[in-house]
Amino acid sequence: MIPWLFVGLFLLFVLAFLVAPTAVLVLQAFTGAHGFTLSYMSGLLSFQYRLAFENSILLACASAAVGLIFGALLANAVAAPGAPAFLRGFVTSFSAVAANFSGVPLAFAFISTLGSLGLVTQMLKHLGINIYDMGFSLYSLTGLTITFAYFQVPLMLIIIVPAIDGLRVQWREAADGLGASKWQYWRHIGLPVLTPSLLGAFLLLFGNAFSAFATPFALTDGNIALVTIDISNVLSGNVMSDPQVGAALSTGMIIVMALILVIYSGLTRHAARWRK
Amino acid sequence: MKTQFSFGNWAIILLALAFFIVPLVITGMFSLWEGGSRYGFSAYQLMFSTTDFWKSLFLSFRLSVETIIVTFVLLVPAMIFVHLKAPQLKPLFEFISNLPFVIPAIALIDGLTTLYTGPSWLISTPNYLVIPYFFLALPYGYRALEVGLTTLDVKTLTEAGQSLGAGWGRIILTVLLPNLRSALIGAILLIFTTVIGEFTFASVLLFHTFAVFINDTGQNAITEAAALSLVSFLITWVFMLGVLFSGRKDAGQLKGAR
Amino acid sequence: MLQVPGVTLTGISKIYGTRTVLHELNLALGQGELLCLLGPSGCGKTTLLRILAGFETPNSGSITINGVDVTQLPPNKRRMGMVFQAYSLFPNMTALQNVCFGPRVRGTGTRAEQIAEGERLLAMVGLASHTNKFPHQLSGGQQQRVALARALAVKPDILLLDEPLSALDAKVRTQLRAEIRRIQLETKITTVFVTHDQEEALSISDRVAVMNEGHILQIDAPATIYRAPANAFVARFIGAGAVLRGEAEGTGLRFGETLLPANAAGALPRGANAEMFLRPEHVTLHGHEAPPGALAARITELTFFGSLTRIKLALTAAPEAELWADMASDGTEGFVPGGNVFAAWSPDSPRVIQLE
């Protein structure tokens, strides 16, 4: 009896505070003054909001890719058998903190480093390299991607290091004994075995960047069109819009994420068909 | 097996070190700037003497403890029982643990404020934040616990406890939880850092958590904001190391139990 | 220059920190021989095998395979096939893909040839109908057969097996070890087999090397190891039997007041401290009519092993002397714990080794 009580309590909590609010929101997106309407949802295709979605998705993809690649290389270095002992503990604790370092503190740190008057920008100017003249700006999607890397790479590390640990040393030795080079091992065994975890990591990184609010808000003051910022504008009343617009934007985000989740499930099922 | 640490590995680590440490160092330098060419700790002195600093820090700390407790009460027993009695529910739990990714924070806040306009004893206190925080931390907490539960042979340990006459409560408290220590510590770590760094929910609901305080200060005084950023990073990191080290002593135990 | 066939290890030492795991070992295998490295946990047999494979480097000494010095060669350049104890099949590949992996990365033959050879090897190990199964779909015994086929696919100079049967059920173990021997004889491949199970070692090897604490104590054919152990450790480790300590005295071993018949004692100086080993199959028990020279004893334990029963005895004249006797189970009526019997053996049966 008791076991089911706990399970039921958890499910009830999820229903009440996660599922219900979301359902209400989605409902609201389709409800106008006179009942069911698609006008708010179709409003998402207007230039302004379409740009926001494009920007958000582009930013999410780019920053997920950066996090995936650099995080994987870093994780490989940390999990390597010859790595110094203290490295792992240091990296684990640092990653856990850095993965949540966002908003004003992060924005401020990067503005002071790579902003138009940032220290590194100035140093590079002294060396004759003017990055702002070359077209770089911290307050662009590129700048955001670099800033996001500060929490995306640690997040990737946290996810992928256990997966790398799961690669049994016997597989490497067997491959060695059969004559495989390091690249052949990774190509035929290492990466295929890691692929489900890599896909999962990309999903997490994408979702993390896609729903990021605090950092772009602090960094760009709302100057770059992003869906999260648009939603907050509606919520805070900065923009004269019906609340349904915010609901529609949120529903749009949910649809994007749900689509990504479906693609991820399909890909993983294929990549992990050799698993139990 | 060759165990040399290759040059490529060192290069990547040094690159990462530069990328992650430089912004912190620069923030640190800014925090010591007192205008003109004076340098000193006045920003820190000001910060530590501001009551709002301590109030907001304690609030965030308190909220993280509450979220941890709620997670332990709601999630841990549910997961243990799913492992023991209802493995067919595992896909459902996996799905639920992925939901917070599909439903972005800002959307959830939108929905919560629309749906729940009362009771006021819940909505108007900062404790209301524990609800969205629970879901924010859910994916990470679930994953940490899931890894711990699968490596531990929950079924055999429970049956052993039952055969010796122990009831559910005793088994969970004295047999299962101690052996899940490293997973639980991992979950605590992640919940703490998530709550301390969380901004979206708190700012929309107008509660003065630590992250909101930093943001407010940042609008006005850059030096204080720099000092704050650094301090928030360091506090979290010190806490993390403390929890990790207390956990490491027991990590060896878990390996020995295999 | 004449190619010396087989494998030669000379002066191999291995030291971990302050611990010497292998003490300057010398070993020579003939072409097509199956040698077992046998010993208790920690004796260094797996380390020796891994040095041969190239996964560990020796602190001193050299390894020669077919006349070529391979000591400095990395594992993927040595022409050897290795079967690990467990977990070595690539989980993301089918059995056939696992077997074809070696030829594939080495580029031997066309794809079609590789597949045909892979199927042939899998058929040889009895898994013709399992080629497209993934490792998690195969039983432990089947996985090890695939591992064996995979190791043979690269046509290695030597085959190395690191306790390949230890993780399997008893019945599967017995079947599979016979298979391994059959395949080894068919392919005539030089093989080194590491195990801690002496029954395994004795039943399939051409020669057995008994190891302890980093030393090789004896290398001989199984029958020789069993009948003529070179020292006390080997005698104790291999097979069962009584171990009795006393002084050598011409025709026997003096154990307290009793003289235990043992012609081998005559080779030792009179009065020397020695140990006597007597196998259970050499001791006969008699209820009433005792043959001349038989000693009175009391039965302390009977252990039923199926076709035979092992009986533990204590000599009446010297109760601290414990002996064992094996009898066919059918003939043991009347023998009960506490009962009195006479124990006899041929004086040529015991082995006597002088103690240092």
CATH, residue B124: 1.10.3720.10
What's residue B2's pLDDT?
A: 47
Give domain status of residue C196, yes or no.
yes
What's residue B248's pLDDT?
A: 58
Give domain status of residue B26, yes or no.
no
Give domain status of residue B130, yes or no.
yes
Residues 93-122 of chain C with CB under 8 A from chain A are 93, 101-102, 105-106
Asked if C55's CB is within 8 angstroms of A170's CB, the reply is: no
How many domains does chain B contain in total?
1
Give domain status of residue C30, yes or no.
yes
The size of the A-B interface in CB pairs under 8 A is 232
Q: What are the tokens at C115? A: 């597949």
Same domain assignment for residues C81 and C156:
yes
- In a 13 Å sphere around the CA of B208, the CA atoms on its Cβ side amount to 11
Asked if A99's CB is within 8 angstroms of B102's CB, the reply is: no
What's residue B1's pLDDT?
A: 40
| Cα–Cα–Cα angle for B97, A145, A122, rounded to 5 degrees | 145
What's residue B33's pLDDT?
A: 76
The neighbouring-strand residues paired with C38 are C195, C210
pLDDT at B158 over 50: yes
Q: How large a percentage of chain B has pLDDT more than 90?
A: 9
Residues 55-84 of chain B with CB under 8 A from chain A are 74-75, 77-78, 81-82, 84
Closest residue on chain C to A180 (Cα): C105
Same domain assignment for residues C183 and C295:
no
Q: Give the residue with greater pLDDT, C190 vs B47.
A: C190
Which of C76, C89, C121, C134 to mutate: most A Cβ within 10 Å? C76
Of A2, A3, A228, the CB nearest to B106: A228
What's residue C161's pLDDT?
A: 95
Q: What is the 3-state secondary structure (H, E, C) of A15-47?
A: HHHHHHHHHHHHHHHCEECCEECCHHHHHHHCH
Q: What are the tokens at C343? A: 């124990």
Same domain assignment for residues C213 and C285:
no
Domain boundary among C234, C262, C296: C234
Same domain assignment for residues C205 and C267:
no
What is the tens place of the pLDDT at every residue in C255-305? Answer: 888 888 888 888 888 888 998 999 999 999 988 888 888 888 999 999 998
pLDDT at C356 over 90: no
Give domain status of residue C312, yes or no.
yes
B247 contacts in A (CB within 8 Å)?
A: none
Residues 6 or more apart whose Cβ sits within 8 Å of residue C204:
C34, C36, C177, C178, C180, C181, C193
Radius of gyration (C-alpha) of chain C in whole angstroms: 25
Domain boundary among C234, C269, C302: C234
Give domain status of residue C195, yes or no.
yes
**Chain A contact for B23 (CB, 8 A cutoff):** yes
Same domain assignment for residues C29 and C58:
yes
What's residue A163's pLDDT?
A: 83
Closest residue on chain A to C89 (Cα): A171
Of C80, C87, C93, the CB nearest to A168: C87
Is there a contact between C37 and C194 (Cβ–Cβ < 8 Å)?
yes
Give domain status of residue B32, yes or no.
no
Q: How large a percentage of chain C has pLDDT more than 90?
A: 51
Give domain status of residue C102, yes or no.
yes
Give domain status of residue B8, yes or no.
no
What's residue B51's pLDDT?
A: 86
Domains of chain A as residue ranges with CATH: 1-37 (no CATH), 43-106+136-271 (1.10.3720.10)
B3 contacts in A (CB within 8 Å)?
A: 81-82
Closest residue on chain C to A196 (Cα): C92
Same domain assignment for residues C121 and C181:
yes
Of A174, A177, A274, the CB nearest to C92: A274
How many domains does chain C contain in total?
2
Asked if C55's CB is within 8 angstroms of A175's CB, the reply is: no
Q: How close B185 gets to chain A, by Cα (Å)?
A: 12
Same domain assignment for residues C180 and C276:
no
Give domain status of residue C309, yes or no.
yes
**Chain A contact for C73 (CB, 8 A cutoff):** no
Same domain assignment for residues C68 and C181:
yes
Give the CATH number of the domain where residue C178 resides: 3.40.50.300
Of C88, C105, C151, the CB nearest to A180: C105
C77 contacts in A (CB within 8 Å)?
A: 179
pLDDT at C117 over 50: yes
Mean pLDDT in residue range B108-113: 83
Round to whole Å and give the CA distance between B22 and A123. 13
Asked if C55's CB is within 8 angstroms of A173's CB, the reply is: yes
Residue B119: asked if its preceding bond is cis (omega within 30°), the reply is yes
Domain extent, residue C190, equals 7-234
Asked if A274's CB is within 8 angstroms of C88's CB, the reply is: no
- How many other C-beta atoms lie within 10 A of the C-beta of residue B106? 25
A187 contacts in C (CB within 8 Å)?
A: none
Same domain assignment for residues C76 and C25:
yes
Same domain assignment for residues C202 and C322:
no
Residue A206 to residues A60, A201, A203, A249, A257: CA-CA distances in angstroms?
5, 8, 5, 18, 9
Residues 173-192 of chain A with CB under 8 A from chain B are 173, 176
**Chain B contact for A150 (CB, 8 A cutoff):** yes
Same domain assignment for residues C176 and C118:
yes
Asked if B5's CB is within 8 angstroms of A218's CB, the reply is: no
Domain boundary among C234, C250, C268: C234
Same domain assignment for residues C171 and C309:
no
Closest residue on chain B to A85 (Cα): B5
- Rounded to the nearest 10 degrees, the angle between the axes of helix A103-114 and helix A141-165 is 110
Low-confidence ranges of chain A (pLDDT < 70): 1, 276
**Chain A contact for B151 (CB, 8 A cutoff):** no
**Chain A contact for B257 (CB, 8 A cutoff):** no
Give domain status of residue C52, yes or no.
yes
C70 contacts in A (CB within 8 Å)?
A: none
Is there a contact between B54 and B210 (Cβ–Cβ < 8 Å)?
no
What does DSSP assign to residue B89? G
What's residue B254's pLDDT?
A: 33
Residues 6 or more apart whose Cβ sits within 8 Å of residue A233:
A222, A239
Residues 6 or more apart whose Cβ sits within 8 Å of residue C267:
C352
A176 contacts in B (CB within 8 Å)?
A: 1
Q: How large a percentage of chain B has pLDDT more than 70?
A: 90
Round to whole Å and give the CA distance between A104 and B213. 10
Give domain status of residue C2, yes or no.
no
